[in-house]
């Protein structure tokens, strides 16, 4: 009964560190443990890991006292929805435009097309701006980064299309 039970999910330590140092004089480090220092125990399964600058074995608080719980990334989600909606409106308009030329005429469709391009530019710009604001907040950043990519590429594409149209009308 003096034997220790072997748990497959819990490493057994006999006081020896299993990995040799990379060079003499350097501290031991294990893969996945960037803040490990000699003589300090690693967290066991079920124990929280210590944050950098915090003693090992002391759990970090889930969030700072006096502040609310961490945010869920709602602004990033909103930015993505706004940017994707602007892109969807622009794509839908491009699909409908050829059918409108036959029924409404060239002048009316050109005016409507310019108005729709303004709406798409404003929506993509709003999605880009909201994405940048969401990246600066302590929340998940994936949706905000996608919104920045979608909104930024749409804004740049729309501006380049307008500049090329200006050159076309001026005869360059």
pLDDT number for residue 142: 95
pLDDT number for residue 43: 56
Q: What is the pLDDT of residues 40-68, one digit of tens each?
A: 555 556 655 555 555 555 555 555 555 55
Residue 49's nearest CA partner among 35, 38, 39, 37 is 35
pLDDT number for residue 131: 97
pLDDT number for residue 66: 53
Query: Can you say whether residue 65 is alpha, beta or left, with left for phi > 0 and alpha for psi between -120 and 50 degrees?
Result: beta
Q: Is 69 exposed, middle or buried (0-12, 13-18, 19+ CB in 10 A)?
A: exposed
- Nearest-Å Rg of the Cα atoms of the chain is 29
Q: What is the pLDDT of residues 143-157, one digit of tens each?
A: 999 999 999 999 999
Given a cut of 70, the residues of the chain with pLDDT beneath it are 1-71
The reported pTM is 0.57
Q: Is 172 exposed, middle or buried (0-12, 13-18, 19+ CB in 10 A)?
A: exposed
């Amino acid at each position: 009964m003096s034997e220790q039970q072997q748990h497959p999910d819990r490493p057994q330590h006999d006081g020896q560190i299993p990995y040799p140092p990379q060079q003499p004089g350097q501290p031991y480090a294990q893969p996945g443990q960037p803040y490990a220092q000699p003589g300090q125990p690693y967290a066991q399964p079920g124990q929280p890991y210590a944050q950098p600058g915090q003693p090992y074995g002391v759990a970090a608080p889930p969030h700072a006292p006096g502040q609310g719980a961490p945010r869920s990334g709602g602004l990033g989600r909103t930015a993505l929805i706004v940017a994707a909606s602007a892109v969807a409106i622009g794509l839908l308009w491009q699909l409908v435009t050829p059918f409108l030329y036959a029924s409404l005429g060239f002048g009316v469709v050109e005016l409507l097309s310019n108005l729709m391009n303004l709406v798409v530019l404003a929506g993509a710009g709003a999605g880009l701006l909201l994405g940048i604001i969401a990246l600066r907040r302590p929340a998940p950043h994936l949706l905000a980064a996608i919104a920045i990519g979608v909104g930024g590429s749409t804004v740049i594409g729309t501006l380049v299309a307008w500049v090329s149209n200006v050159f076309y009308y001026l005869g360059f």
